[in-house]
């Protein structure tokens, strides 16, 4: 079974079932202003979309009984958490109430590109490579005290997934 793609679709689609490639498609431009076409190797900036996949992965681990909402960073990760409270729970990370310093705190920064001045993003190949952006910063507030959107919490959740799944 082959799948047809609308020729006006902008982006990439690659669908396999078992070993069969059902669709391999690139359309539109990766850079519209310069008319650089998408290819199957085009990397897209997905911003916070990754958080959805991390959350689903964590919830699947909870459903499988390999993790609990109440589990803490200190009990799961075998890294030096430095100023991060080791009692921060999986639930607090998921619902943005951990208090962990956010590597891109919009209340302090408004230029995402400036984030990468001292620590270029080409250095990031693994989740642990994000740690230098926040591991040495103090907690923003005591864990569980309030909601504040938090990117760093999802880096820590990704590290938890890696630890549990190997």
Q: Are residues 117 and 75 in the same domain?
A: yes
Q: What is the pTM of this model?
A: 0.75
pLDDT above 70: percentage of residues in the chain: 90
Give the mean pLDDT of 84-89: 98
Query: What sections of 27-95 are H helices per DSSP?
Result: 49-63, 73-76, 90-94
Domain that holds residue 69: 49-165
pLDDT tens, residue by residue, 118-147: 677 777 788 898 899 899 999 999 999 999
The CA distances from residue 1 to 7, 18, 22, 26, 92, in Å, are: 19, 12, 6, 19, 44
Does 115 lie in the same domain as 35? no
- Tell me: do 55 and 40 sit in the same domain: no
d(CA 166, CA 161): 8
pLDDT of res. 108: 66
pLDDT confidence band for 4 (50 / 70 / 90): confident
In this structure, are 36 and 87 located in the same domain?
no
Number of domains in the chain: 2
């Amino acid at each position: 079974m082959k799948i047809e793609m609308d020729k006006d679709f902008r982006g990439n689609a690659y669908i396999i079932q078992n070993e069969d490639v059902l669709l391999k498609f690139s359309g539109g431009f990766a850079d519209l202003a310069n008319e650089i076409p998408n290819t199957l190797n085009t990397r897209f900036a997905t911003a916070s979309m990754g958080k959805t996949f991390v959350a689903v992965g964590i919830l699947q681990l909870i459903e499988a009984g390999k993790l609990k909402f109440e589990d803490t960073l200190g009990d799961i990760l075998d890294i030096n958490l430095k100023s991060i409270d080791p009692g921060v729970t999986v639930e607090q990370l998921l619902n943005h109430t951990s208090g962990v310093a956010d590597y891109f705190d919009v209340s302090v920064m408004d230029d995402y590109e400036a984030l990468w001045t001292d620590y270029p993003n080409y250095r990031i190949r693994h989740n642990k490579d994000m740690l230098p952006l926040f591991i040495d910063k103090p907690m923003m507030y005591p864990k569980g005290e309030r909601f504040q959107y938090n990117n760093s919490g999802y880096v820590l959740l990704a590290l938890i997934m890696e630890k549990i799944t190997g």
